Amino acid sequence: MNSDEDRKKYGLPPKPEDLPEHRDPYGERTLLFADDADFIQFETVVSTIPSQIAVAPGYLEREWEDNGRRYFHYIQDTPIQAFFTFVSAEFDVLRDEAVMPDGSKVNLEIFHDPKHKYNLDRFLSAYQDGITYFSKTYGDFQFRQMRLMEFPRYSTFAQSFPNTVPFAESFGWVADFKDPDDFDYVYYVTAHELAHQWWGHQITPNYTRGSNLISESLAEYSALILTKRRYGKDNMKRFLKEELDNYLSGRSNEGKKENTFINTNRAYQWYYKGSLILYGLQDLIGQDAMDSALYAFNQEFGLKETPPFPGSYDLYRHLDAVTPDSLKYYLDDTWNKITLYDNKAEEVQAKRITEGEYEITLKVKSQKLYSDETGREENAQYESDYIDIGVFAAEDKDENGRTRVNPLYIQKHKIRPGESTITFKVKGEPVKAGIDPYNKLIDRLPDDNSIAVEIN
């Protein structure tokens, strides 16, 4: 099934080389789209040499040896996408469990090189945290097991098949995380791949332009949210900034034209812009509203084997339903337009009022811009937008030795275009202040958002 005609007939995704500028951080080279021909009852018998374990999706029914070969019989007792993988190697297996919201257990198996035990706890805790949290938030995990299989560094990617995720050796199995400030990409990428069990497998997008954001943006967003739960919302800047930088560099290398997000056909949009604007939306409307929209979206389309399958407009409809009128501008800006900000902290002074209390005067500049598909920008005409204003004490270290951000003040203000001066009081000695200090908005120059506080 590899000719273009076959791909069309079976509703298969385009070949990776046919995808325009498909630069994919996880190297997920096959994208998943559904039509009504794609769901199968999966059962397989696979054999390997006796020293190895062969893994495929489905539950292990039986294992035996015959004639110098080791056999494994797997049955998936619920329909899955015709999307599966076989991995065989000399594995050690770490076995543990994740707990579902109703208390039932999901078997976890981490198949790894016997010498690569360094970061097993990171893979494991992403699975344990994610299965509990995603089930509670988006609807129950659909399988009784979840596996991860290391494979050699001939290639660097991780990819989510039904209850089965091959994960390259070079992608964290031997990584050194001694510095507590190192970005725990093992946890993050494992969370992303796990989230595909919901976004991609429970909900499979239809074959229309923009629909892949359902898989990738929601998986990346879910990984951000799990990370927020682990690191704390005030320590998210490094993650958000990473997504922002990747999006900005993606669009600056755009060779043809940048579509609006709802019609996205580029990896730099569906990963980085997608995660950022969904994170920004939950920050504006609140985690509960966001969760209820995604839960309802999964209720409408999850585990469906017959059309209609959702496209980007279906997800938009659910998000729109939970967004109050006063914040609809944000949805419209991020999905239907290409929107950028120029936010900048110009000057900040602190006057000590009493012992430990300061009056802050912060001068900021802000401008929203709309870009057309060729990158031509013009200032937006608008009254004001909600933007974070923040003041920070000195950073310190948390109990894990990790750098901790210490906000004295973080509030959304309605900021008009042009210059604004904002005055308020904080308790504690201010060191840094700024506008959108965590980089939640798509800012062309994110580095000038925060500056040092002058105390006088």
Contact region with Zn ion (CB under 5 A), list: 46-54, 215-223, 285-293, 435-443: 215-223
Do 10 and 37 contact (CB within 8 A), yes or no? Answer: yes
Q: How far is the CB of 339 from Zn ion (least distance, A)?
A: 24
Using DSSP's 3-state secondary structure scheme, residue 217 falls into helix
| Number of chain positions touching Zn ion (CB under 5 A) | 2
Contact region with Zn ion (CB under 5 A), list: 21-29, 60-68, 92-100, 133-141: 21-29
Closer residue to Zn ion, CB minimum distance, 200 or 437 = 200
214 binds Zn ion (CB under 5 A): no
Closer residue to Zn ion, CB minimum distance, 213 or 415 = 213
Residues numbered 122-161 forming contacts with Zn ion, rule: CB under 5 A? none
Closer residue to Zn ion, CB minimum distance, 24 or 320 = 24
Exposed / middle / buried, residue 169 (Cβ in 10 Å: 0-12, 13-18, 19+): middle
Closer residue to Zn ion, CB minimum distance, 31 or 240 = 31
Q: How far apart are CA 34 and CA 11, in angstroms?
A: 6
Do 221 and 278 contact (CB within 8 A), yes or no? Answer: yes
Integer-rounded Cα Rg, in Å, for the chain is 24
Closer residue to Zn ion, CB minimum distance, 220 or 314 = 220
Closer residue to Zn ion, CB minimum distance, 219 or 248 = 219
Q: How far is the CB of 205 from Zn ion (least distance, A)?
A: 12
**Beta bridge pairs of residue 423:** 361
Token pair belonging to 228 = 């927020």
The answer to whether the bond into 407 is cis (omega within 30° of 0) is no
Closer residue to Zn ion, CB minimum distance, 212 or 334 = 212
> Residue 432 CA to chain centroid, in angstroms?
29
CA angle 100, 157, 151 (to 5 degrees): 80
- The H or E element containing residue 97 is strand 92-99
Q: How far is the CB of 115 from Zn ion (least distance, A)?
A: 28
Do 443 and 341 contact (CB within 8 A), yes or no? Answer: yes
278 binds Zn ion (CB under 5 A): no
Q: How far is the CB of 352 from Zn ion (least distance, A)?
A: 50
DSSP 70-115: EEEEEE-SS-EES----EEE--EEEEEEEE-TTS-EEEEEEEE-TT
Count Cα neighbours of 143 within 13 Å in the Cβ-side half-sphere.
27
Contact region with Zn ion (CB under 5 A), list: 24-32, 183-191, 262-270, 346-354: 24-32
Q: How far is the CB of 31 from Zn ion (least distance, A)?
A: 9
Q: How far is the CB of 271 from Zn ion (least distance, A)?
A: 8
Amino acid found at 391: V
219 binds Zn ion (CB under 5 A): yes
Closer residue to Zn ion, CB minimum distance, 28 or 242 = 28
Residues numbered 27-66 forming contacts with Zn ion, rule: CB under 5 A? 28
Contact region with Zn ion (CB under 5 A), list: 23-31, 78-86, 303-311, 359-367: 23-31
Give me the phi and psi of 248, to 5 degrees please. -60, -40
Contact region with Zn ion (CB under 5 A), list: 8-16, 20-28, 291-299, 378-386: 20-28
Closer residue to Zn ion, CB minimum distance, 222 or 235 = 222
Range 282-287 contact pairs with CB under 8 angstroms and sequence separation of 24 or more? 282/225, 283/440, 284/327, 284/330, 284/386, 284/412, 285/322, 285/323, 285/324, 285/327, 287/225
Enumerate binding residues for Zn ion (CB under 5 A).
28, 219
